[in-house]
Amino acid sequence: MKFTFAINQARYRDGLNTFVHELNADALLLLKEEMRLLLRDIIRFTPPKNLKQGRSAVEADIQKAVGLLDQDSFARAREEVRLPMRELIRRKDNETLQQAMRDMDGRNWLVKPFNKQDHISRRNRYGRVRQKSFIMTTDRIAYRKYVREVQRRVGLAKAGWLRAAEGVGLKLPSWVKRHAGYAKGGYTEPTPNRMEIVARNGSIKIPNYQQRIVQVALNARRMSIEKEIKRLASGGKTRRASFAGTVFGQSSP
């Protein structure tokens, strides 16, 4: 899904205009600085928070579609159950193991060789598995290889903002930047005749992304701008490095 936005929320834009007018600010500098802060928040709010969280989420999603049976399985079972079941797993006797599991709880378990399609086919349009299946596999090596393959994609949604982030001088972590060759995004530089920055992300599959993340970040930046204006209007100093030493209402000609 391609997602595009520009800074055009009315109150937010009005706050930026106040900065420009009252502090005689460089409008281009301010726009790029504010887009950098906005993108910082959007990327920060875009999951996952870090690589570890993302890798864990990937494995949990795959486990909903295909569970792994290995020598750690049946840890809570009695020894007379645990040991025979683990022996079946070791031998990859899928047919006997499948029947034993069905006899244990009456569920329609399916124990089979690992096939990544058992995961892919159960993903929704956002790339998530919502309902746990009863498919299991004893193919530990193939399963782990596939998990690692999908985990390598962690950070792709954030990386969709990479070109825009580079355009405004925002640094991203290495686990996000590694997707530079695959991330689909874009950035349009502002000019004196077109005071607009457009950022595009073509890697988004997150449900309600605009409402849940982008709008929250926009609101946060708007409130920050309004708070800064109130501070300046009451005689306080600006925290914006680019406006250091300026006084509200006494802009230079």
Q: Which residues of the chain have pLDDT under 70?
A: 1-9, 23, 238-253
Domain ranges of the chain: 3-48+155-242, 55-151
The answer to whether the pTM exceeds 0.85 is no
**What pLDDT sits at residue 252?**
45
**What pLDDT sits at residue 244?**
52
**What pLDDT sits at residue 31?**
81
Q: What DSSP string runs through the chain?
A: --EEEES--HHHHHHHHHHHHHHT--HHHHHHHHHHHHHHHHHHHSSPSSHHHHHHHHHHHHHHHSEEP-TTTTTTS-HHHHHHHHHHHHHT-HHHHHHHHHHHH----EE----THHHHTT--TTS---S---EEE--HHHHHHHHHHHHTTTTHHHHTTHHHHHHTT----HHHHTTTTT--EEEE--BTTB---EEEES----TTHIIIIIHHHHHHHHHHHHHHHHHHHTTPPP--GGGTT--TT----
